[in-house]
Amino acid sequence: MRRKLAAGNWKMNGTRADLAQVDALLKAHPAASVDMVLCPPATLLAPMVERAGTCALEVGGQYCHPNQTGAHTGDVSAKMIADAGARYVITGHSERRTDHGETNADVLDQTLAAWDASLTAIVCIGETLEQRDTGQTLTVLASQMVGSVPEAATGANIVIAYEPVWAIGTGKVASLDKIAEVHDFMRAELTDRFGTQTAGAIRLLYGGSVKAGNAAEIFATSNVDGALVGGASLTAADFAPIVAAL
């Protein structure tokens, strides 16, 4: 049985004053029967872990370098994220793929680094608008999964988030039929590669303009185990109802 997961990506937003959102979220979901993860900027990892205590909220990074230490000015390693007390890290977010030219091979290396530091990787994949409009969605997703998901994937060390690039931060959401088609396809691809048991344990998230008003119907869609949420994860007022819809 896959445990439902709501993960929030704060992106380059948040200062210490925003940690009040953690208190409010935990007030709304003190002992969640689902998994809740917030991924703040690196500066807030340790303080957010402290604020979350041993409660229902886990913390994650938004990116990790493939190396654990070294001459990489401005970067953050999985070991550092783990040292801050976080348990998850996002790899392959489309904003990283676009802004920093990260390839599938980079994402695979980052995911291996995450595992090396005992973090669970939330690997993001998704097609652009042009790829969607030219009928390439499933081909693109298949090659991203082959290229970005390492061989030793398990239900414990990886979560895969399907995030159509055109739906991120745009208010546009993939249709429920499309979400079902893609998540069924992803499960089938994982089954071919890893077998039924492992594939059946890996959680698949949808991401792209999820909010309180559309979360329940998305979560009721075939093979959707939760969501990766950007904008609507910044405040407890927006995120708590999404968690409640899981």
Q: Per rule CB under 6 A, is residue 61 in the interface with ligand PEP? A: no
The closest residue (CB) to ligand PEP is: 230
Q: Per rule CB under 6 A, is residue 110 in the interface with ligand PEP? A: no
Query: Quick one: how far is CA 9 from the chain centroid?
Result: 8
Q: Per rule CB under 6 A, is residue 163 in the interface with ligand PEP? A: yes
Strands (E), the chain: 5-9, 35-39, 57-61, 88-91, 120-125, 158-162, 203-207, 226-229
For residue 116, the 8-state DSSP code is H
For residue 163, indicate whether it is catalytic.
Answer: yes
Burial class of 167 by CB neighbour count within 10 A (0 to 12, 13 to 18, 19+): buried
Q: Per rule CB under 6 A, is residue 231 in the interface with ligand PEP? A: yes
User: Which sign, positive or negative, has the C-alpha torsion 85, 169, 180, 146?
Assistant: negative
Positions 8 through 27 that interact with ligand PEP (CB under 6 A):
9
Dihedral over alpha carbons 4, 66, 73, 99 (to 10 degrees): -60
Q: Considering CB under 6 A, how many residues would be counted as binding ligand PEP? A: 13
Binding pattern to ligand PEP, positions 193-212, x when CB under 6 A? --------------xxxx--
C-beta neighbour count of 209 within 10 angstroms: 21
For residue 29, indicate whether it is catalytic.
Answer: no
Nearer CB in complex with ligand PEP: 162/194: 162
Stretch in the footprint of ligand PEP (CB under 6 A) among 28-36, 45-53, 61-69, 226-234: 226-234
Binding residues vs ligand PEP (CB under 6 A): 9, 163, 168-169, 207-210, 228-232
